Amino acid sequence: MEGKPGLRERKKQRTYAAISDAAITLFLEHGFNQVSVAQVAEAAEVSKRTLFAYFPTKEDLVVHRLADHETEAARVVRARAAGTAPLTALREHFLDGLRERDPITGLNDHPQVRRLHRMILDAPSLVARMERFKAGAEHALARALEETAGVPELTARLAAAQIVAVQWALAQDNAERLAHGESADGRHEGAVADAEHAFALLEYGLRGFAG
């Protein structure tokens, strides 16, 4: 098994890429809501019906590019070195992401990335789709915690919910600042400090709050 791809398979991949590329190009140029799926299909030289065979919804034309990230936190937890706490592994991974300007951390100011971010925020249906994405990440992380940290199901779910929420908030904050004109390099130091602060809150709790 796993010999050569075969013509049919290769063609499918090319079609997939053609549709995705046409979609991203058109969406970035004119805005998500301003471009119809029919136009995308035409630009990709494919029928509307075929487009929907590859991408179940219009939103997936954009979001499929993040699909890998949905299980990223879960993978990090599962792959952590023995003796490392899940939270430690996740913090290190997030800091790595900041260092590498991984778009998922919100700390990437390449024009393409920023325009994509803008596009998503301007389209409510895309924002909603991202929320679903977040829920998926939460679920995957909960399972990873439950299975590798020997913690009860509810605890795993509570922890996963908190962790994903925090990572998301950090990324949003970074992206917001870059949208306001800060550069990724200039923001890096602050982003690291904020991330450390956020993970400290997760580790040590919120009881420092003013009464």
Partner DNA sequence: GAGTAAATGTATACCAGGTGCAGAAATCAT
Partner DNA sequence: ATGATTTCTGCACCTGGTATACATTTACTC
The footprint of a copy of itself on residues 111-140 (CB under 8 A) is: 127-129, 131-132, 134-135, 138
180 binds a copy of itself (CB under 8 A): no
What residue has token string 């389209």? 123
Could you tell me if residue 34 is left (phi over 0), alpha (psi between -120 and 50 degrees) or otherwise beta?
alpha
Closest separation in Å from C-beta 77 to a copy of itself: 10
CB neighbours of 209 closer than 8 A, spacing ≥ 6?
none
Please, what is the Cα angle at 137 between 134 and 143, to 5 degrees? Answer: 145
Q: Is 208 in the site for DNA (CB under 7 A)?
A: no
Q: Which stretch binds a copy of itself (CB under 8 A): 2-10, 93-101, 149-157, 178-186?
A: 149-157
Residue 161 lies near a copy of itself (rule: CB under 8 A)? yes
Q: Residue from 17, 29, 53, 110 that binds DNA (CB under 7 A)?
A: 53
Q: Is 11 in the site for DNA (CB under 7 A)?
A: yes
Q: List, in order, residues 6 or more apart from 152 with CB less than 8 Å away.
A: 146
CA neighbor of 72 nearest in space, from 5, 136, 115: 136
Of these, 17, 21, 29, 38, which contacts DNA (CB under 7 A)? 38
- Cβ of residue 115: shortest distance to DNA, in angstroms? 19
Of 196, 198, 199, 175, nearest in space to 187 by CA? 175
Q: Report d(CA 190, CA 49) in Å as an integer.
A: 47
Among 31, 56, 124, 186, binds DNA (CB under 7 A): 56
37 lies in the binding site for DNA (CB under 7 A): yes
**Other Cβ atoms within 10 Å of 142 Cβ, number:** 23
CA-based nearest residue to 29, from 144, 147, 119: 119
Interface positions with a copy of itself (CB under 8 A):
83-87, 127-129, 131-132, 134-135, 138, 145, 149-151, 154-155, 157-159, 161-166, 168-170, 173, 194, 197-198, 201-207, 209-211
What is the binding site for DNA (CB under 7 A)?
6-9, 11-12, 15, 35-38, 45-50, 52-54, 56-59
